[in-house]
Amino acid sequence: MTDLAMLKKITGESDEELLSLLFTMAEEKVLALTNRSKMIYPLQFVVREWTVVAYNRLGMQGETNRSEGGISSAFAEIPRDISETIKRYRLGRVCGYAHEKKPDEEILFKEKDSAEKF
């Protein structure tokens, strides 16, 4: 199932263009916060979750709290579970450059090398 199909099921929204726009914006925010240039698999669900949060907040942009009829609601900029996952996959920056591992730099695991070390 594609991300767009999942989002349509979760939100009940039929406007694919709106969901696609919110998904793209969420993906850009996650990439910026993690200092990455491309999306990695463990962050895919974070982007979907952030898209749902953004969809639910449509019309409430800029609000930090709301009180209606004696009911108060407070909104976090980034929900805690999303923030914790982003922190886990954030790349450090050294001299203004985030060192991201390239696909051709992957280290292959060799069983005999690891067995010799122990």
φ/ψ bin of 95: left (φ > 0), alpha (ψ from -120 to 50), beta (otherwise)? left
Q: Which stretch of 26-30, 37-41, 61-65, 82-86 has the lowest confidence by average pLDDT?
A: 61-65
CA 1 to the chain's CA centroid? 18
pLDDT digits (tens, 9 = 90+) for 13-45: 999 999 999 999 999 999 999 998 889 888 999
Percent of the chain with pLDDT over 90: 41
Cα–Cα distance, 65 to 62 (Å, whole number):
9
Tokens representing 33 are: 């916060």
Structure confidence at residue 92 as a pLDDT band (50, 70, 90): confident
pLDDT given at position 7? 93
pLDDT given at position 44? 92
Q: Which helix (H) or strand (E) holds 68?
A: strand 65-68
- CA dihedral 98→30→32→41, nearest 10 degrees, is 30
When pLDDT is averaged across residues 49-55 and rounded to a whole number, the result is: 93
pLDDT mean across residues, the chain: 81
pLDDT digits (tens, 9 = 90+) for 71-81: 877 777 788 88
